[in-house]
Chain A
C-alpha cells in the first residue's frame, strides 16, 4: 500500500500544481482536462448533431408525407441528391436510404450516447460523488477528441461523391459490404467504419474513466448505498458500454476484412452486378449476432442515463424521496444484466434456429419486469408530492409517459409469434422512437434544464422551457403514435414510397399528418437552441442551489473552478433523498449535513448513526495527529 500512497500523494501535488497553471484559451476551452468543460464540449457537439440528425428526418418525412411535392427548392442544399423526374424534384431513393441510415447512426451514437452519457457522466459523476475531477483528466480529454475526430469523419462522409453509408444504421452485410449493392457501401461505408472505431475508442476511454472514478474517488461517507441514482445509472451505463462496445469493434473489424481483404466471414454465395463472387461459407447471421450483442445493450446505454437523470429530477421537484431507492438500483442492475442476454429478439425472423427464438422471447419478456418496477416507482414518487413544475420536471414526467407507451409495445415485439407480422414495420419504428429515442431525448433535455445553472452559472428561461416542452411532448406523440396504426397495417420501414403496393395505398393523410407534426416538433427545438445559447450569455444569474436539491454538486460555488470545491470536499452523511422529512424545518436536507445537526428529523435508526458519526470524527482526528507526527 505504501506505493499507492506515494503515487497518490504525487497526484495530489500534481493537482495543486494545476491550479497555478495560467489558463489560456486553448487549455481552458479546447484541450481542457476539466471534466466540466469536457461535459460542455460533449453537450454542445451533441446538440449540433441533434439538429443535423433532426434535419435529416425532416427531409425524409417530406418524401413520405408529400410524395408528389416538388422538392426543387432543396436543390441548393442537397444538390444532385434531388433528381428531376417529369419536371418534379424528388429525393433520390438511395439518398433516402442514406438519410435514414445517417439519422439512425447520428441519433443513437452521437446524440444519445455521446451527447447524453458523455455530457452528464462527465459533468455529474465527480460533482455528485465529491471528487475534484475524473480519475484521469487526460484520458477524459482524449475521449472527447476521439469523439470529435469520429464526428468529423462521419460528417465528411456526407459530402463525398458516392454518398454516406446507406445500408441502415445496423449495417447488415452483404448490403454494407458490397459497393455493387448500393453506392453508399463504397467510401461512405468505409468512413462510417472508421468513424465508429474512433467512436468506440472514445466511449471506452470515457467508460473506463467513469467506472474508475465512481469506484475510487468517492468522498468520505459516499457509500454505494448513498450514491444518487444518476451516478448509479452512469456507472452501470459505463459498465454495459465497456462490455459491449468491444464486441462491436470485433464485428466491425471482420466486416472491414470482408470488405477490403476478400475474407468470407459474412459473405457467401453471392451473385451481384452480373458476376458470382468467390466468397463461400460466410454467414450474414453471424454479423447480426455480434452486432446485436452490442446493439441491444446500446439501447440501455442510451436509456439508463436518462432514467437516472429523471429519478433525480422527479424526486427533487416532487420534494419527496424517490420511492424504492433500493428497488430502483436493483431494477437497473437487473436491466443491465438482462440487456446482454436478449439480443436475438431483433432476429426472430432472420432464419435463426426457432428454438433460440423461444429462449430469447422468454428472456426478453423478463426484462419487462424491472422496467415495470421503475415506471411504478416513478408514479409513486409523484403521489402525494409537492410538485414544482420546472421545465426539467416536465421533461421528466414526459419521459416516464414515453417510457410507458414505448415500453408496452415492446411486449408485442418481444413475443416472437406476434413479431412475425410486426417485425420491420412502422410499429417497430414507433416502439423504439418512443421508448429509446424520445424517452432518452427527454432525459437529456431534463438534464440540460436542471443542471444548466451548474454548468453556466445562469438560469435558462423557464417560460421558453415550458413552450419547448409542450410543443415537443405533444409533437413527439403526434409523430410516433400514429405510426402504430401504420405499423399494424403492415407498412414496412425504410420504404421510399408506398405506391408500388395495393396493400400500402392507404394512410396518405396520416403520413402527411406525421410529417407536418415532425416538422413542427423539429422547428420547436429552435426555441430550445435560442434559450440555451441566449442563457449562456444573458440568462439570469443562478443562485447556489436553485432547485433546493440535496446532492453535492449544489455545495460548490455557482461557478466552480477546476477542482470543484475551493476548500475541502464535503463529507457525506446521508442518502441524497431526504426531501420533506417529517420534523425538518426545510423540505430538504443536503447530503453533507450530519445527522447530529438534525436531531428533530432523524428516524430512530438514524439517531443511532449520530454516535457512529462522533466516533468517526474522533478516529479522524487521531489519524490526523498520527500523520503530522509521521
Chain B
C-alpha cells in the first residue's frame, strides 16, 4: 500500500514538474524572453556566482577551522614533521592563490554581466602580464620543489647500519612481521618454500634463519632509526602507517624498504590524545582484492628499554620454537646451533619429527 502511495506520489510530482516546465516555456515564448540578450536569468546567475563564492568560502573556512583536530593526524616520526611542514607551507601558498583566483573568477562575472549599452573591452593580449604569470608561478614552484627535493632525498637515503630492522610481508589479506632474532640478522627466504605454516618461505638451511621470530604485533623503539624491509608474496600491497607518515608499496619479487624514526611511544600518544585505547596501525593502500580494507597490524612504539625486554622475550618464541616439526628441514651440521637457539631438547625434536612424519 505504501509502495503504491510512493509511486503515485512520484508520478504526481513528475506531472507537476512537467506542467511547470511547459508553462514556463509558454511564458518565455509569449514574452519573447529567449530573444532578449539582457535578461533576468542573466542577473540571477550573476548574483548566484557571488552567492556561491561567499557561502562556499564561509563553509570551507568554518569547517577547516572548527574541525582542524578531526582531519589532521598527530605526527609521530621525525621525517613526518618535515613532510607535514611542507604540506602546510604548500597549503598556505596554494590557499592564497585559491582564494584570490576564486574571488576574481566569481566576482568578474557579476561585475561584467551583459548590458545592452556596454561593449566589452577589446583586449587580446598583453605580453608583460603573460610574462608575469609565467615567471611568478615558476619561481614559487621552484622554491616548493627545492624544499621538497631536500626532504625527499633525506627520506629515501639508505638506512644507517645500526638501524633497527624488521621485515613486513603482505599477503591476501594481512601483514606479517619478522625479526632477525638473537643474531639480529634476517635469514634468507625463498618463495618456493612457502607453505601454510612457513608463511615467509624461511630458508632453514641457513644459519641466520634459525632464530628468526614472527611476532603478532610489531614493536620498535622510540628515537631510533627503524628500517622496514617490505615485500609481498602474492599481489601488490602498500604499507601505510598513517601516524608515521610512512608509505611504501610491497611488490612480489622486488623487496622495497622505508626508514623512519618514531618520536612518540604508544603510551605517550595515548596520553596526548587522552585515549587509553589508542594504537598505531599499519594499513594497506594498494588495492589487493576482497579484503583490502582489512589488512590491519598493530605497531607498538616502546621506550628503548621496554623494546629490549620485549625483543629478548621474543627470542624465546622463534619460528622453530613454535614449529618444532620444521627442525627436520635444518641440515645436520646446523641442527645443534638450532637446538641451542631454540632451547628444545634433542629427544623432543626427534620425537616430534617422527610423529609428524607418521601423521603425514
Contact = CB atoms under 8 A, between A and B. Distances in A.
Closest 4 CB pairs of A and B: A268-B253, A354-B156, A351-B256, A490-B242
Given A351-B256, A382-B105, A459-B34, A320 B121 contact: yes
B270 to A, nearest CB: 12
Nearest to A271: B194
B21 A464 contact: yes
B252 A97 contact: no
Listed residue (A351, A477, A481) with the most chain B CB atoms within 10 angstroms of its CB: A351
B46 interface: yes
Nearest to B257: A351
B248 interface: yes
A384 B123 contact: yes
Interface stretch (A146-154, A194-202, A280-288, A302-310): A280-288
Contact of A389 (B41, B91, B286): B41
B283 A492 contact: yes
Which of A323, A388, A400, A490 is packed against the most chain B CB atoms within 10 Å? A490
A284 B290 contact: no
Contact of B90 (A274, A357, A412): A412
B234 A271 contact: yes
Contact of B114 (A167, A384, A386, A497): A386
B152 interface: yes
Contacts of A470: 48
Interface in A396-444: 397, 400-401, 404-405, 408-409, 411-412, 415-418, 420-421, 423-425
A494 B256 CA distance: 23
9 contacts: A168-B287, A270-B253, A276-B191, A326-B125, A366-B141, A412-B94, A417-B155, A501-B281, A580-B121
Interface in B76-101: 80, 82-84, 86-87, 90-91, 93-94, 97-98, 101
A604 to B, nearest CB: 14
A404 B101 contact: yes
Interface centre among A280, A379, A385 (most CB of B within 10 A): A385
Contacts of B130: 324, 327, 373, 377
Interface stretch (B132-140, B313-321, B336-344, B349-357): B132-140
A565 interface: no
A270 B191 contact: yes
B70 A500 contact: no
Contact of A320 (B46, B86, B120): B120
A269 B113 contact: no
Given A276-B194, A503-B73, A368 B137 contact: yes
Nearest to B90: A412
B19 interface: no
B148 interface: yes
Contacts of B60: 481
Contacts of B94: 408-409, 411-412
Contacts of B97: 404, 408
B125 A327 contact: yes
Contacts of A318: 112, 120
A105 B151 CA distance: 35
Given A175-B287, A369-B138, A379 B153 contact: no
A394 interface: yes
Given A365-B144, A389-B109, A481-B60, A461 B25 contact: yes
B291 interface: yes
A587 B119 contact: yes
A405 B247 CA distance: 26
Contacts, number: 340
Contacts of B178: none
B240 A492 contact: yes
A566 interface: no
Nearest to A497: B293
Contact of A579 (B25, B84, B86, B122): B122
B34 A269 contact: no
A494 B294 CA distance: 12
A519 to B, nearest CB: 15
A177 B48 CA distance: 50
A337 interface: no
B290 A365 contact: no
A494 B152 contact: no
Interface in B127-177: 129-130, 133-134, 137-138, 141, 144-145, 148-149, 151-153, 155-156, 171-172
Contacts of A397: 49, 105-106, 109
A448 to B, nearest CB: 18
B293 to A, nearest CB: 4
The residue in B82, B91, B290 that gathers the most chain A C-beta atoms within 10 A of its C-beta is B290
A537 interface: no
A175 B288 contact: yes
